A and B are shown apart, each in its own frame.
Chain A
Amino acid sequence: MIYSDEGQLKTTYAADMVIFPLAQDRTLFAILMLLAFVGIPALALAGIPPFHADYIFKAILTPFLILSLAALGLNILVGYCGQISLGAGAFMAVGAYAAFNFASRIPELPVLIAILLGGGVAAAVGVCFGVPSLRIKGLYLAVATLAAQFFFDWLFLRVRWFTQDSPSGSVSAPKLNVFGWHADSAVERYLLVLSIIVVLAALAKNLVRSDIGRQWMAVRDMDLAAEIIGIRPVRAKLTAFAVSSFIIGVAGALWAFVNLGSWEPSTFSIDRSLQILFMVIVGGLGSILGCFLGAAFVLLLPIMLDIVPGALGMPLSTDTVSNMTMFLFGALIVFFLVVEPHGLARLWVILKEKLKIWPFPY
Chain B
Amino acid sequence: MNAPIPRRDIASSTSAPLLSVDNISLAFGGVKAITDVSFDIRKGEIRAIIGPNGAGKTSMLNCINGFYHPQAGSITYKGNKRERMRPHVAAAQGIARTFQNVALFKGMSTLDNILTGRSLKVRRGLLWQAIWFGPALAEQIENRIAVERIIDFLEIESIRKIPVGKLSYGLQKRVELGRALAMEPDLLLLDEPMAGMNTEEKEDMCRFILDANRRLGTTIALIEHDMGVVMDLSDRVVVLEYGRKIADGTPAEVKRNEKVIAAYLGVPH
Contact = CB atoms under 8 A, between A and B. Distances in A.
A79 to B, nearest CB: 10
Nearest to B139: A211
B180 A227 contact: no
B267 interface: no
Interface in B121-168: 122, 124, 126, 129-132, 136-137, 140-141, 143-145, 148
Range, interface on chain B: 35 or more
Interface in A189-220: 203-204, 206-207, 209-212, 214-215, 217-218, 220
A353 interface: no
A212 B130 CA distance: 9
B99 interface: yes
Interface stretch (A87-95, A132-140, A146-154, A229-237): A229-237
B229 interface: no
A229 B108 CA distance: 15
Contact of B140 (A17, A204, A224, A225): A17
Q: Which bracket fits the contact residues of A?
A: 20 to 34
A222 B105 contact: yes
A221 to B, nearest CB: 4
A294 interface: no
Nearest to A205: B132
Interface of B: 65, 67, 86-88, 90-92, 96-97, 99, 103-108, 112, 115-120, 122, 124, 126, 129-132, 136-137, 140-141, 143-145, 148, 179-180, 183
Contacts of A229: 91, 96, 116-117, 119-120, 179-180, 183
Q: Is the interface of B mostly helix, strand, loop or mixed?
A: helix
Q: Name the residue among B86, B88, B99, B126 with the largest chain A CB count within 10 angstroms.
A: B88
- Name the prevailing secondary structure of the A interface residues: helix
Nearest to B90: A228
A231 B116 CA distance: 8
A13 interface: yes
Contacts of A227: 86-88, 91
Nearest to A215: B119
A345 to B, nearest CB: 13
A286 interface: yes
